[in-house]
Structure 1
Amino acid sequence: MKIPYPRSVFFIIGNELCERFSYYGMKTILTLYLKYQLLFSEDTATVVYHVWAMMCYFTPLFGAIIADTLLGRFRTIFYISIIYVFGNAVLSLSAITPFFPSLEPKIGVAMTGLFLIALGTGGIKPCVSAFGGDQFILPQQEKELTRFFSIFYFSINTGSFISTYTTPLLRDDVKCFGEDCYALAFGVPAVLMVIALVVFVVGYFSRCYRIVPPNGSVITDVGRVISHALKMRRKSTKERDHWLDHADDKYSKDLIADVKVLLKVLLMYIPLPIFWALFDQQGSRWTFQATRMNGEIGGFTIKPDQMQVVNPILILMLIPIFDSFIYPLLAKCNLLKRQLPRMFVGGLLAGAAFVVSGVLELQLEKTYPVPIEAGEARLSFINTLPCDVTLSPGWEKEVTLKNLEQMKYDSVNLDNPDGILNDLQVSISFDKTACGQVTDYDVGPTTIQVVEKTAYTVMITAGDNKAEVVRVNTPDEYEKPSEGNPSVRMLFNLDSSVPFNSSVRLELQNNPQTYEFFIYDSDQGHMSGTEFINIEPGTYNVLLPTDKLDVHEEESVGEITVKFGGVYNFLVEKPLETGANTTVTLYQITAENSVHMLWLIPQYLIITISEVMFSITGLEFSFTQAPSSMKSVLQAAWLLTTAFGNLIVVIVAEAKFVKQQSMEFFLFAGLMFVDMVIFAALAFNYKYVDEVKEEEENVKEEKPAIAGKENEAYCDDETKL
């Protein structure tokens, strides 16, 4: 009688699809949230990201023990999923800006949410696939079980693919409270986790599940065997073939034999964390690398965090290609027929991927802004007078600026560094007859106050019929924007016909997206600058409010075009002269990203091929080499290698062995190559299970023959006797 296919697995697969959408969707945008919303530095954001990832792969150990010894798989998944849902809700709450006027509570809530998510995703990770396996009756449904795991793995990558593509769109294309909508981008994965839990519970009330009660944890048994063997080894003076044999006074020989095989496989796991240290940087260092690149393709824009979608797409494509074509072709050439050589090549490819990322970073470094060194400041002068102005700074020779022309001084040496205010002397002169209503020929030495390692914009302008040299209150942002979008500030120099407490609007052409820059009453009257805001790249119409107070009207006074990674000032000026037109002028502080984001594809392709050869083959190696009673232990150990890999990234990021990001990529590549030398040495001495069985069979075949000869000789001797 044919056993019907268990309907319960469809609830489990649906649960996994939604949970993986939730996990990868949140993970995709996490580093940008840490840096841009929680205002961590890039290094600190990388550390927090990898500490969290380490927890996600460390907690499965406890989830497996709880399921096997206390609650069983169903109840473990159910209870820990509730924690998971709550963690997603808390993280989404932290992104609702009006709830947190100060940064400290916002960070605390976000960290609480991440901690709960790590408990949730890690706690259920070892249970869901095993619970799916529980639904099948073996050995009758062995083929159906194999097909289930294929569908299960496909659902993981499908959830990853969809969420990795969509959550960056929710983050960037939707605005909440005037900025990127992280609340929605985290909220949608939170809703998907709720759906995952609902789907899982519906399967229970449909009475579909086959629930296996807890029957003890092999993980704890292994720990007891090892600890007892070490204890008895210290006490015993008797030599044993293997140190684990000292535990045979308390534990069965079969269990001890299985632990011996387990330790032999775990020895091969020692080099694995380095691979995961490289692989998991797709969500941190490589995402930050993408923020410094240009994602425009025609009318479409790739988000920096969206580039992570390349990995699941390539995985779904490459797995059947390798299984059906590449591995069989290599086998015909007698190459890479075993798992360990495949893993060795996969590890080398991971190192090669980081060599490629390092070379790309060297090209990107040519486009980065020049840093301001200690004891220096940076100044940009803009002449808004309707005539040529001679600028005489105290640190440089004089220069002539035309109307609306800009002059940059990248490195101005200061007398009083260490964050102390410094007074810089500047003088200007101009032709009175050419400057209309400006009555003064010049302004004597003007003092500009600056702080070291800071950039400023200074405007040469006219107010109350007098020339002025005024430093814009807000310092310039000169580092590339953390999320890749251009950063823009409005400078305004307007006459009294433009009302205070109104806004200049930027309206993206062929798009409803708009941004407002507030005109306020400053110490300099109608001359000042706003804060910087990040906006979408593109061409914008600049809309200025009219002086008609009875109705709200706007007029277009010009347009500006801003690009990925650029930092800009745009000056809206309405001169004092009667009838003069309002002008809009764009000034570049930092150059836009010039290297295209698609240049990331080679390193993503190489790391994904590496994943197929190293990670997937490693899972196959673990499954085939482990005794049947130890497969769950090796699954937990495999996840722990990922946790330790993330710990390595944290150590390197915190230690700051190198200053340049390119050198850090090369450092990781070097670590991977050295690691593979160690792996090759271990692999050279490793004997596969089938090789061990073959040797044992040969020994069994040889023993009777030897015994026969001995008996024959004995009989001869006896006859002689």
Structure 2
Amino acid sequence: MFQKKNRSFSPKSYHSFISGIDQRKLTSSARTKIKYHNIRYSESVSFLTDDSDDLKQSEASETLPYPKSVGFIISNEFCERFNYYGMRTILVLYLTNKLGYNEETSTVLFHTFTMLVYIFPLIGALIADGWLGKYKTILYLSLVYSLGAMIVAFGAVPLEGMPVKAVTIVGLLLIAMGTGGIKPCVSAFGGDQFSLPAQSLQLAKFFSLFYFAINAGSMISTTVTPILRADVHCFGDKDCFSLAFGVPAVLMIISVLIFMAGKRMYRCQPPAGNMIFGVSKCIADAFRGWKKRRDTEPEESFLDYAKPTVGEKMVRDTKTLLRILRLYLPFPVFWALFDQQGSRWTFQATRMDGMVMGFQIKPDQMQVVNPLLILAFLPLFDYVIYPILRTIGIRRHLQKLTIGLVLAALGFFLSAGLELKMQQAAFEVQPTEPGTAHLRLYNGMPCAYEFNSSIASKHLKALEPMSMWTDLALPVPEPKEYSFRAEPISGKCSVITGKLRLQPGKSLGYFMTQDKLVEFADGLEMPPSESNPPLLRVLLNTPPGEGPIFLTTSDLDIKTVPLDNRNVSQLHSIFAGPGQVNINDLKVAHFDTKGGRLYTLMIAGSARDGYQQKMLEVVTPSAVSILWQLPQIVVMTAAEVMFSVTGLEFSYSQSPASMKSVLQACWLLSVAVGNMLVVVIAEFKFTSTQAGEFTFFACLMLIDMLIFLWLARSYQYKDESKDSEEEEQGHDKDAQTPKTADKQPWQPSGMVEEPGHGAYRNHAYDNDFSEA
């Protein structure tokens, strides 16, 4: 009676037809058949009608209430993403400014942490699918996550005797375990709350809300956390990393409480097993079968040797998976470039002027541009860019992936060009040309001096008292000592002799005081910007016994800094504004400073003869605006949309339904390997300059793109029409076997197999399937 050819029944006409039958006049067998077909109709109307799918889903959605438990999951996701993005935004600055690591070591630690974040999802998926289930996995690992966040925040509190570096590493390890472990579980657990296919439309709304929670947490935290870091002062410091880490940590604890509050409402599915084990068994059995039967029973393919143990379907699906994974081999290089937005590009922003139209943009706040551009680029690409590409013949996924790789290389070429521009602005900071050195001479004596030296430098006839002589382009091809002799032109001063020990690439200063030369490093590691605090060095030519000497600034937390006439090499980070130096409670010098500058304050004299002062501005701040980073961020975001979104769509459409979770794990693993590449390159220091390193990554990306083209040249796309026909035949076969409602378990597979929700999400930091 209910053949597949009868496709004219709508839900209302079907129920009218059934209600018009007097079932009392039917046999028991006929009544049983009607009861069976009622069940099958409500579950699988799609097998009876094709043109009423939307109406069926709408009416079914009206009868099934929207799961209230979803609100707890979305709120939990917002708080958790706020914590992760906020902590990650300021991490590299914390490692350098507070823990004392240099940029290379901080980059290594940052990308090692990111690598672990993308390795632990494999473990989390295995635990959830094979042991604890999604709910317990999320709960237990969230507790680990919260503990790690609190440890990092506690470690930022300056307590005497606390091993800050060790505490921070332990906290970051726990965070990586927590956020990575719950990553593949949260969105899938949210999908478990819906009955499919009846609530497919409501499931789509859930993913939209879930995506909004991710982006809201990302944008708010990357905006607020840098403000808490820089504009709040605590524990005697000019910033407050403990608060900047503490607020996200509190939100993480709140997220756990929210998640636990909805326990009674959740629909929890038992562990269903993980296909990673199935693929591993297929490969292992194929190897064993190949060793035993390769001579007696040769097979056409290596994996065919596993057919007797795992079955033909598993072998066929594994072959398809490996064909896709072959194309994944070049992907880690893309992630190696992409994830440097949170490390190298943040360091680059610290050397730029963040003042824009009267507002101060902090270096770590530039990371908020990426998720904002994602929201703008997704509709732009769908409605403008992709139609234009189709008109010129670019329609295939692999073609778009190639364009994404090229755009990533272009983004790093732009960043290298910006570094070269900044090197020109950093001329006063460190030598930028190979084989050159900086030399500054400070005359703290009360006499004018004439110099004689073997240095091939500009001729200087005389250096007046309380003044500075500078040569920022000294040719010094190798470390060498140069003789130095300074003779007084006038006054009762002694001749000063000594050695000038110059090195290529170094900036040195010599202070003439008390008839001798005092050497000190007279440069900075990076160009300062207007947002950086001013740096002050005090050069004292006063009698050794006079004191105490104190530096007083407008800093309310550190009112005075003790000085003596032997600390000429020490730089003091102070607040911008007025300040003074007191000797024996007598003000002997006063000054006014501005942000981003390196000052040298010279003081000479004695209490008997009086004091002289001279304030010199040694290094000026970088004049390169932080807005110059926008072109490379725009290009890299376009590369992300073209590569990441297309890659997800390609993987979903080409992989077998049973292998989608395995492919998710491999996608995450490619991100982890990409971060490991950054660690290796940063450790081996293939280039001596940052511009050279960016150029190296860009060229590596172009080579990687050529390798991808070679791998993709023979790829055959899956015949989706044939695949859908086989699936339909499978449904017809299932429909012929009666099943009662209580014997047919509810399966959440519709969420896993449906590719439509995977494209629109923020891939700024977490480029995986888990939050799609």
- Regarding TM over 0.5, the answer is yes
Cα drift, residue 93 of structure 1: 2.8
State which of 665, 672, 680 in structure 2 corresponds to 1:643. 672
Pair 310,140 (structure 1): closer, same or farther in 2 beyond 3 Å:
same
| Matched ranges for 1:162-177 at <5 A | 162-176=220-234, 177=236
Pair 270,546 (structure 1): closer, same or farther in 2 beyond 3 Å:
closer
Pair 664,54 (structure 1): closer, same or farther in 2 beyond 3 Å:
same
State which of 440, 443, 464 in structure 2 corresponds to 1:402. 464
1:559 equivalent to 2:559? Answer no
Could you say which residue in structure 1 is the equivalent of 2:522? Answer: 476
Whole-angstrom distance in 2 between the partners of 1:312 and 1:258 = 35
- Per-residue CA deviation, residues 651-672 of structure 1 (Å, 9 max, x unaligned), is 2222322222222222222222
Cα drift, residue 387 of structure 1: 5.7
1:518 equivalent to 2:578? Answer no
Could you say which residue in structure 2 is the equivalent of 1:209? Answer: 266
Could you say which residue in structure 1 is the equivalent of 2:6? Answer: none
State which of 561, 565, 569 in structure 1 corresponds to 2:600. 569
Question: 1:488–1:570: 8 Å Cα contact kept in structure 2?
Answer: no
- Across the aligned residues of Structure 1 and Structure 2, the Cα RMSD in angstroms comes to 3.5
- Per-residue CA deviation, residues 585-626 of structure 1 (Å, 9 max, x unaligned), is 1331x4421221111100000000111111012112222222
1:33 equivalent to 2:62? Answer no
Question: 1:57–1:643: 8 Å Cα contact kept in structure 2?
Answer: yes
Cα drift, residue 224 of structure 1: 0.9
- Per-residue CA deviation, residues 485-537 of structure 1 (Å, 9 max, x unaligned), is 255123154879x9945643333xxxx877655243446xxxx547324456x
Show structure 2 runs of 5+ residues with no match.
Answer: 1-59, 730-772
Question: 1:374–1:452: 8 Å Cα contact kept in structure 2?
Answer: no
Q: How many residues align?
A: 657
Cα drift, residue 282 of structure 1: 0.6
State which of 495, 504, 519 in structure 1 corresponds to 2:551. 504
Could you say which residue in structure 2 is the equivalent of 1:302? Answer: 361
Amino acid at match of 1:479: E
State which of 215, 235, 241 in structure 1 corresponds to 2:292. 235
State which of 237, 245, 254 in structure 2 corresponds to 1:178. 237
Whole-angstrom distance in 2 between the partners of 1:271 and 1:415 = 41
State which of 240, 243, 259 in structure 1 corresponds to 2:318. 259
Could you say which residue in structure 2 is the equivalent of 1:123? Answer: 181
Give 3-state SS (helix, strand or coil) of 1:400's partner: coil
Question: 1:540–1:560: 8 Å Cα contact kept in structure 2?
Answer: yes
Cα drift, residue 74 of structure 1: 0.7
Whole-angstrom distance in 1 between the partners of 2:684 and 2:473 = 30
Question: 2:444–2:541: 8 Å Cα contact kept in structure 1?
Answer: no
Whole-angstrom distance in 2 between the partners of 1:229 and 1:168 = 53
- Per-residue CA deviation, residues 659-714 of structure 1 (Å, 9 max, x unaligned), is 222222222222222222232333343233335727989xx9xxxxxxxxxxxxxx
Task: State which drifts further: 54-63 or 185-194.
Answer: 185-194
Question: 1:481–1:534: 8 Å Cα contact kept in structure 2?
Answer: no
Pair 324,188 (structure 1): closer, same or farther in 2 beyond 3 Å:
same
- Per-residue CA deviation, residues 203-242 of structure 1 (Å, 9 max, x unaligned), is 22xx221111112111111211121122112211323343
Question: 1:376–1:417: 8 Å Cα contact kept in structure 2?
Answer: no
Give 3-state SS (helix, strand or coil) of 2:66's partner: coil
Amino acid at match of 2:494: V
Whole-angstrom distance in 2 between the partners of 1:586 and 1:140 = 75
Question: 2:153–2:246: 8 Å Cα contact kept in structure 1?
Answer: yes
Give 3-state SS (helix, strand or coil) of 1:490's partner: strand
Percent identity, aligned pairs only? 41
Could you say which residue in structure 2 is the equivalent of 1:62? Answer: 123
Show structure 1 runs of 5+ residues with no match.
Answer: 433-440, 462-466, 701-721
TM-score (norm 2): 0.77
Could you say which residue in structure 2 is the equivalent of 1:347? Answer: 405
Question: 2:539–2:565: 8 Å Cα contact kept in structure 1?
Answer: no
Could you say which residue in structure 2 is the equivalent of 1:445? Answer: 496
1:288 equivalent to 2:347? Answer yes
Question: 2:484–2:500: 8 Å Cα contact kept in structure 1?
Answer: no
State which of 268, 282, 301 in structure 1 corresponds to 2:327. 268
Could you say which residue in structure 1 is the equivalent of 2:716? Answer: 687
TM-score (norm 1): 0.82
Could you say which residue in structure 2 is the equivalent of 1:464? Answer: none
Pair 622,415 (structure 1): closer, same or farther in 2 beyond 3 Å:
closer
Whole-angstrom distance in 2 between the partners of 1:574 and 1:427 = 20
Could you say which residue in structure 1 is the equivalent of 2:703? Answer: 674
Give 3-state SS (helix, strand or coil) of 1:180's partner: coil
Pair 149,212 (structure 1): closer, same or farther in 2 beyond 3 Å:
same
Whole-angstrom distance in 2 between the partners of 1:255 and 1:235 = 20
| Matched ranges for 1:423-434 at <5 A | 425-432=484-491
Cα drift, residue 4 of structure 1: 1.0
Task: State which drifts further: 566-575 or 603-612.
Answer: 566-575
Whole-angstrom distance in 2 between the partners of 1:151 and 1:568 = 52
Whole-angstrom distance in 2 between the partners of 1:128 and 1:632 = 14
- Per-residue CA deviation, residues 120-171 of structure 1 (Å, 9 max, x unaligned), is 1111111111111111111111122222223222322221222222222222
Question: 1:357–1:603: 8 Å Cα contact kept in structure 2?
Answer: yes
Question: 2:498–2:517: 8 Å Cα contact kept in structure 1?
Answer: no
Could you say which residue in structure 1 is the equivalent of 2:53? Answer: none
Could you say which residue in structure 1 is the equivalent of 2:441? Answer: 381
1:326 equivalent to 2:388? Answer no
| Matched ranges for 1:41-52 at <5 A | 41-52=102-113
Question: 2:81–2:217: 8 Å Cα contact kept in structure 1?
Answer: yes
Could you say which residue in structure 2 is the equivalent of 1:9? Answer: 70
Could you say which residue in structure 2 is the equivalent of 1:20? Answer: 81
State which of 278, 287, 291 in structure 2 corresponds to 1:221. 278
Amino acid at match of 1:407: W
Question: 1:559–1:584: 8 Å Cα contact kept in structure 2?
Answer: no
Give 3-state SS (helix, strand or coil) of 2:265's partner: coil
Whole-angstrom distance in 2 between the partners of 1:482 and 1:109 = 30
Give 3-state SS (helix, strand or coil) of 1:287's partner: helix
- Per-residue CA deviation, residues 73-92 of structure 1 (Å, 9 max, x unaligned), is 11011111111111122222
Could you say which residue in structure 1 is the equivalent of 2:532? Answer: 485
Question: 2:534–2:594: 8 Å Cα contact kept in structure 1?
Answer: no
Task: State which drifts further: 604-613 or 114-123.
Answer: 114-123
Task: State which drifts further: 382-391 or 274-283.
Answer: 382-391
Pair 574,601 (structure 1): closer, same or farther in 2 beyond 3 Å:
farther
Whole-angstrom distance in 2 between the partners of 1:301 and 1:3 = 51
Whole-angstrom distance in 2 between the partners of 1:79 and 1:655 = 38
Amino acid at match of 1:671: L
Question: 1:404–1:585: 8 Å Cα contact kept in structure 2?
Answer: no
Question: 1:558–1:584: 8 Å Cα contact kept in structure 2?
Answer: no
Pair 213,559 (structure 1): closer, same or farther in 2 beyond 3 Å:
same
Amino acid at match of 1:587: E
Could you say which residue in structure 2 is the equivalent of 1:587? Answer: 617
| Matched ranges for 1:597-612 at <5 A | 597-612=626-641
Whole-angstrom distance in 2 between the partners of 1:561 and 1:411 = 27
Question: 2:128–2:271: 8 Å Cα contact kept in structure 1?
Answer: yes
Pair 342,377 (structure 1): closer, same or farther in 2 beyond 3 Å:
closer
Whole-angstrom distance in 2 between the partners of 1:47 and 1:548 = 48
- Per-residue CA deviation, residues 66-108 of structure 1 (Å, 9 max, x unaligned), is 000110011011111111111122222332233347xxx3322
Could you say which residue in structure 2 is the equivalent of 1:714? Answer: none
Whole-angstrom distance in 2 between the partners of 1:613 and 1:445 = 66
Pair 425,302 (structure 1): closer, same or farther in 2 beyond 3 Å:
same
Amino acid at match of 1:234: K
Give 3-state SS (helix, strand or coil) of 2:715's partner: coil
Whole-angstrom distance in 1 between the partners of 2:424 and 2:557 = 32
Question: 1:288–1:482: 8 Å Cα contact kept in structure 2?
Answer: no
Whole-angstrom distance in 2 between the partners of 1:445 and 1:387 = 12
